[in-house]
Copies of this chain bind each other. A is one copy, B any other.
Amino acid sequence: MTTAARGRPRDPALDKAIMTAALDSFIEHGIAGMSIEQVAKRAGVGKPTVYRRWSSKEQLVADAIEAFVATGVQWPSRDEIDAVRPQELIRRNIDTAARTAADAMFRALVAQIYGSAVTHPLLMQTYWDHYVGPRRTLAIAMLKRAQSEGSVPPDADLDVLVDMLAGAVTYRVLQPNPPNARQMRRYLESAYRQVGLLP
């Protein structure tokens, strides 16, 4: 949650119902085409119930996205990154990553987030600060370790490398004829191999 509860104790089940409705509206209509009113109706609550919790549709959608993606891929912790070799970490996580990337709802969600990047920058900013940023820090820690082990070149620009990996997946997923989980797994293997994260 990025917005503190105002007034009364939070009801987690109600929060969840509102966020689910918000995510569905966002995926169907995009941020420009949705409203708090529409979300309230969909969740079967009054508008004030939503506004007590979230001050804007951007904040609400950002929280809904965060709650949704938190249920997906488990990222390795900082401790795991320090303890386990990068290639082994990739091997452990590649199946889940491929399934998530090939998921139809993930695809629809990514499309709408990207679509709102310029017209509704607050949404991308919140998504970036709360979701992408922390995972990016972990990915860079993993690439640094791979650099110290010699599988990633010492002069590689790690920020660009992370963009190349995350960007390729996003780009591939939004192309016509998106891959299924099996194809996505092979795709991820090629991409990881290219940057030195798989042999």
- CB contact under 8 A between A118 and B114, given known A32-B33, A164-B191, A171-B170: no
A169: interface (CB < 8 Å): yes
Using A107-B118, A115-B111, A160-B191 as known contacts, say yes or no to A169 and B167 having CB atoms under 8 A apart.
Answer: yes
A–B pairs, 8, beta carbons within 8 Å? A114-B174, A118-B174, A157-B193, A157-B194, A163-B167, A163-B168, A163-B171, A164-B191
Residues of B within 8 A of A175 (CB): 117, 124, 128
Chain B, Cβ-Cβ closest to A153: B194
Contacts of A164 in B (CB 8 A): 164-165, 167-168, 191, 194
Chain A stretch 119-138: residues in CB contact (< 8 A) with chain B: 119, 121, 124-125, 128
Smallest CB separation, A124 vs chain B (Å): 6
Q: Which residue of B lies closest to A187 (CB)?
A: B160
The answer to whether A167 and B172 touch (CB under 8 A), given A111-B117, A115-B114, A115-B115, is: yes
Q: Are A30 and B32 in contact (CB under 8 A)?
A: yes
User: Quick one: which of A9-46 are within 8 Å of B by CB?
Assistant: 27-30, 32-33
| A112 in contact (CB, < 8 A) | yes
Query: A128 contacts B176, CB within 8 Å?
Result: yes
